């Protein structure tokens, strides 16, 4: 065998750079389903099914293209259980002269595969991932030239370079502004969202049903459930989901991007992150299609810019942060957070209605939208002080779109502020009143707690912990110009009230005894 082309579960694109020069008469493709990828974090059932179903459908597509494929099934009796073990076995069997792959998304996986190649004394050729608009080298050069990391400037640079939402001169943004956030981000109001377009659904076919049965059998204790699994697992399905998003949800995407409502997990979001991250969709086609909706007069500029900013901006930016900061990123803990993750993150069993809703929907579907991740589950963890490694492992486990290069910077940088301001200029903190506002009171009305109260039995835990956070981190926050107002409010509290807040917060951090224990 001349070349063995390695394809990972998040590299399901037949035009990837790894296939350049592929010759089916001398080369072959290697793919492996392994237990370790579902157990290094306690991967939810929806997430594992998403990956394995998409991999098996992609394997069929490769066979149709006539590319010889060596594919290892999860339940093969001699499956080695890890990517490294499987690759080692494949090298011994196939004796390739060279390994080729598109640069992987995960630092951990790259180290493991490199070690196997070195041990076998084989060259491992890593090719740039053309899926992305930018390379990590471009990001590093940008960061160096600016001396600090900020999304806004990187995003503007990419818009100019790729001519996205630009005036014909290629320098000025369409509409005269780079950012339309001020026009976006409304709540639904007391009457609620009213009619909502349906989520795109792809009922599992025979192949996916086999995977569902396999995961139920092999990983029975893993979190999450599979009754409603309907994610796109092929490129054709992903393109259909994109089309439905563009016509039905994009025109209101920006406006309701941050809104929340009980029992409405899908709202006006695209639900395309998993399809993008597994490379079933290319971000260029998604961005171009969204821009075309604006140019055809079918979607307002503010909505389209808000959407494109997430993909051309945030998605590229966090990838650059990940690859320029790993592995050291995991060692930060600027807020010295060390609490255990509450066990109910894995069940949704909490009296806090907003949290319970976000957690249950996460476990049911492997999905929650950005504001639920950042300002409900993430905010609670930040205020509570969960140890970074534990909250990182949770986010990496539960979402169908979770891959480390995008999950880790979002969780540890944006949501938990463990890097002290490298990725985001300030911690995203708020009291329960923020959740009340963005859900138009819909959660809080059903909750035993009151978001306006910081002390006493009815105090909303978010609100108590928010004030406690300001008190605990006063020195660090006071040095941040964007936090001055919030810190000043905390310094105005009386000494008695500050002590009472800290005592109530400490009590919240005590694990509650289980019913029935003495």
Binding interface with ligand SF4 (CB under 6 A): 352-354, 432, 435-436, 443-444, 447, 449-451, 460-462
Q: Kindly state the smallest distance separating residue 380's Cβ from ligand SF4, in Å.
A: 9
Question: What SS3 class is residue 287?
Answer: helix
Quick one: tokens of 145?
Answer: 């030239």
- Binding partner of residue 435 among ligand SF4, ligand FAD, none, CB cut-off 5 to 8 Å per kind: ligand SF4
Q: Kindly state the smallest distance separating residue 369's Cβ from ligand FAD, in Å.
A: 5
Residue 200 or 356 having the CB closest to ligand SF4? 356
Question: What SS3 class is residue 371?
Answer: helix
Q: Kindly state the smallest distance separating residue 466's Cβ from ligand SF4, in Å.
A: 10
- Binding partner of residue 277 among ligand FAD, ligand SF4, none, CB cut-off 5 to 8 Å per kind: ligand FAD
Q: Determine how β-strand 28-32 pairs with β-strand 69-72.
A: parallel
- Binding partner of residue 13 among ligand FAD, ligand SF4, none, CB cut-off 5 to 8 Å per kind: none
Report d(CA 19, CA 4) in Å as an integer: 10
Query: Nearest-5° angle of CA 329, CA 414, CA 321?
Result: 45
Residue 67 or 235 having the CB closest to ligand FAD? 235
Query: How many C-beta neighbours within 10 Å does residue 344 have?
Result: 15
428 and 414 Cβ atoms separated by less than 8 Å = yes
Residue 22's contacts (CB-CB under 8 Å, 6 or more residues apart) are 3, 5, 67
Residue 347 or 491 having the CB closest to ligand SF4? 347
> Quick one: DSSP state of residue 337?
-
Q: Kindly state the smallest distance separating residue 375's Cβ from ligand FAD, in Å.
A: 8
Residue 253 or 434 having the CB closest to ligand SF4? 434
Instruction: Catalog residues that contact ligand FAD under the rule CB under 6 A.
Output: 269-273, 276-277, 310-311, 314-315, 318, 369-370, 373-374, 378, 395, 399, 401-402, 406-407, 410-411, 414-415
- Binding partner of residue 432 among ligand FAD, ligand SF4, none, CB cut-off 5 to 8 Å per kind: ligand SF4
Question: What SS3 class is residue 169?
Answer: coil
Give exposure, 481-517, as e/b (b: 16+ Cβ within 10 Å). eebeebbeebeebeeeebebbeebbeebeeeeeeeee
Residue 57 or 315 having the CB closest to ligand FAD? 315
Helices (H) and strands (E) in the chain, counts: 23, 5
397 and 223 Cβ atoms separated by less than 8 Å = yes
Report d(CA 259, CA 188) in Å as an integer: 7
Q: Kindly state the smallest distance separating residue 56's Cβ from ligand SF4, in Å.
A: 40
Residue 234 or 411 having the CB closest to ligand FAD? 411
Q: Kindly state the smallest distance separating residue 437's Cβ from ligand SF4, in Å.
A: 10
Q: Kindly state the smallest distance separating residue 453's Cβ from ligand SF4, in Å.
A: 9
50 and 5 Cβ atoms separated by less than 8 Å = no
231 and 274 Cβ atoms separated by less than 8 Å = yes
Q: Kindly state the smallest distance separating residue 507's Cβ from ligand FAD, in Å.
A: 26
Residue 105 or 451 having the CB closest to ligand SF4? 451
- Binding partner of residue 401 among ligand SF4, ligand FAD, none, CB cut-off 5 to 8 Å per kind: ligand FAD
- Binding partner of residue 451 among ligand FAD, ligand SF4, none, CB cut-off 5 to 8 Å per kind: ligand SF4
Query: What count of Cα atoms within 13 Å lies in the side-chain half-sphere of residue 121?
Result: 0
Residue 58 or 380 having the CB closest to ligand SF4? 380
- Binding partner of residue 353 among ligand FAD, ligand SF4, none, CB cut-off 5 to 8 Å per kind: ligand SF4
Residue 180 or 434 having the CB closest to ligand SF4? 434
Q: Kindly state the smallest distance separating residue 255's Cβ from ligand SF4, in Å.
A: 22
Report d(CA 190, CA 439) in Å as an integer: 9
């Amino acid at each position: 065998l001349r070349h063995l082309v390695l394809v990972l579960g998040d590299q399901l694109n037949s035009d990837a750079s790894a296939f350049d020069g592929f010759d089916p008469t001398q080369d072959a493709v290697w793919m492996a389903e392994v237990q370790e990828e579902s157990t290094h974090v306690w991967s939810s059932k929806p997430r594992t099914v998403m990956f394995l179903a998409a991999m098996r459908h992609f394997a069929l597509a490769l066979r149709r293209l006539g590319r010889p494929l060596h594919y290892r099934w999860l339940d093969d009796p001699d499956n080695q259980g890890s990517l490294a073990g499987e690759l080692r076995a494949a090298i011994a069997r196939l004796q390739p002269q060279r390994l080729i792959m598109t640069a992987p998304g995960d630092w951990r996986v790259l180290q493991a595969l490199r070690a196997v190649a070195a041990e076998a004394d084989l060259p491992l050729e890593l090719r740039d991932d053309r899926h992305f608009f930018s390379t990590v080298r471009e990001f590093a050069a940008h960061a160096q030239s600016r001396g600090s990391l900020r999304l806004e400037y990187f995003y503007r640079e990419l818009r100019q370079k790729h001519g996205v939402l630009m005036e014909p001169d290629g320098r000025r943004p369409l509409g005269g502004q780079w950012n339309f956030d001020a026009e976006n981000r409304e709540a639904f109001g007391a009457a609620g969202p009213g009619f909502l377009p349906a989520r795109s659904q792809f009922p599992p076919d025979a192949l996916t049903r086999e995977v569902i049965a396999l995961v139920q059998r092999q990983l029975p204790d893993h979190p999450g459930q599979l009754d409603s699994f309907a994610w796109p697992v092929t490129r054709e399905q992903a393109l259909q989901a994109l089309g439905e998003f563009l016509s039905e949800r994009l025109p209101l995407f920006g406006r309701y991007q941050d809104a929340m409502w009980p029992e409405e997990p899908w709202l006006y979001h695209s639900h395309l992150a998993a399809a993008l991250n597994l490379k079933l969709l290319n971000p260029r086609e998604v961005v171009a299609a969204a821009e075309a909706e604006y140019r055809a007069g079918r979607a307002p500029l503010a909505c389209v810019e808000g959407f494109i900013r997430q993909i051309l901006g945030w998605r590229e930016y966090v990838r650059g942060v990940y690859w320029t900061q790993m592995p050291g990123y995991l060692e930060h803990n600027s807020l010295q957070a060390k609490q255990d993750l509450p066990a109910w993150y894995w069940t949704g069993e909490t009296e806090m209605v907003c949290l319970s809703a976000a957690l249950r929907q996460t476990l049911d579907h492997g999905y929650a939208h950005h504001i639920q991740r950042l300002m409900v589950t993430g905010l609670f963890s930040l205020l509570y002080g969960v140890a970074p490694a534990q909250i990182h492992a949770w986010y990496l486990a539960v979402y169908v779109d979770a891959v480390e290069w995008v999950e880790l910077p979002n969780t540890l940088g944006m949501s938990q502020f463990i890097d002290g301001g490298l990725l985001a200029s300030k911690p995203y903190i708020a009291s329960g009143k923020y959740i009340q506002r963005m859900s138009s009171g819909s959660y809080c009305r059903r909750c035993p707690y009151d978001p306006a109260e910081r002390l006493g039995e009815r105090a909303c835990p978010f609100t108590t912990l928010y004030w406690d956070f300001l008190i605990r981190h006063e020195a660090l926050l006071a040095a941040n110009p964007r936090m001055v107002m919030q810190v000043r409010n905390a310094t105005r509290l009386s000494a008695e009230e500050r002590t009472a807040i800290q005592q109530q917060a400490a009590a919240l951090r005590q694990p509650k005894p289980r019913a029935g224990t003495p």
